[in-house]
Amino acid sequence: MTERLYYQNSFLYDFTASVAEARTLPDGRRALVLDRTAFYATSGGQPHDTGWLDFIAAGSDAPLPLPKLRVTEVIEDEATGAILHLVESLPEALPPRVRGFLDVERRQDHMQQHSGQHVLSAAFLKLFAAPTVSFHLGEESCTIDLDTPALTAAQLEQAERHANQVVWEDRQVLMHEVTPEQARKAGVRKLPEAAHATLRLIEVRGVDLCACGGTHVLTTGQIGNIQLRKAEKVKQGIRVEFVCGARALRAARRDFQLLTETAALYSAQLSELPAQT
């Protein structure tokens, strides 16, 4: 079982660890297992981290004269709880220690999207009794599937406004480790089906309490903002597409540029665009 350093500290971007073993996957890819790691392995709708591993000398953080290993994917061996760092190549003789460096921009992006999802899911639950049944954090945008037959445009806007209010209140995001019994008593929003001795709960103070293994911001202000992009009917209810933080800024910038270029084609103001034919 690899110790997950991100459970306690999602802002740990640089760490040292001992090499436990090297593995070759059935498809021929090579993986390194460490005694502890700050790299998040794909699970619960959140994709893995990427970054680098540097072999270091025993008893110091000085790098050895070996090529850095690019960590391209991180997966969990569910049978043993080992976290596998997939790398492009491995030296014949493995040094005993590494220093790991995360791709910080990717981690921060994932924290903004995932914490934003908790806040948004809580808003849909509170306002319209619409529980979230699944979450997907994609390369471009994120989605939640809500167990509800329909949502109007006004309801979507209301949920967006409510969720952003929670962001602006800059509430604390806390982590608790509890027994399943304690979790049930505390009224947790979503409990895992599989049996666990302890559960990791993520609390958005006063707003949401949810069992989750993901990486999260420290206060809701760090989410930046939450922007709904689309809603569509799917088999299990309504799928809502959204972006948070830096992604929301990029999306708004792209929209504005597109509108400005389109308006120039018609020699019109942005507000006059819908009237153009």
- Contact residues for Zn ion (CB under 5 A)? 212, 214
CB nearer to Zn ion: give 83 or 201: 201
Nearest to Zn ion by Cβ — which residue?
212
Q: What single DSSP character describes residue 109?
A: H
- Nearest of 56, 113, 156, 157 to residue 248 by alpha carbon: 113
| Cβ 224 to Zn ion shortest distance, Å | 17
CB neighbours of residue 214 within 10 Å: 23
| Cβ 15 to Zn ion shortest distance, Å | 22
Angle between helices 104-128 and 245-265 (to 10 degrees): 90
| Cβ 114 to Zn ion shortest distance, Å | 6
Q: Which residue has the tokens 């979790």?
A: 183
Burial class of 121 by CB neighbour count within 10 A (0 to 12, 13 to 18, 19+): buried
Distance CA 50, CA 19 (A): 18
| Cβ 141 to Zn ion shortest distance, Å | 17
CB nearer to Zn ion: give 56 or 212: 212
| Cβ 118 to Zn ion shortest distance, Å | 6
CB nearer to Zn ion: give 97 or 107: 107
Phi, psi dihedrals of residue 134, rounded to the nearest 5°: -155, 160
| Cβ 44 to Zn ion shortest distance, Å | 6
Q: Which residue has the tokens 């791709």?
A: 103
CB nearer to Zn ion: give 132 or 227: 132
Q: Which residue has the tokens 């000085």?
A: 62
CB nearer to Zn ion: give 51 or 214: 214
Distance CA 141, CA 90 (A): 34
| Cβ 121 to Zn ion shortest distance, Å | 9
CB nearer to Zn ion: give 19 or 218: 218
CB nearer to Zn ion: give 16 or 43: 43
Sign of CA dihedral 261, 153, 206, 174: negative
- Nearest of 45, 103, 84, 92 to residue 67 by alpha carbon: 92
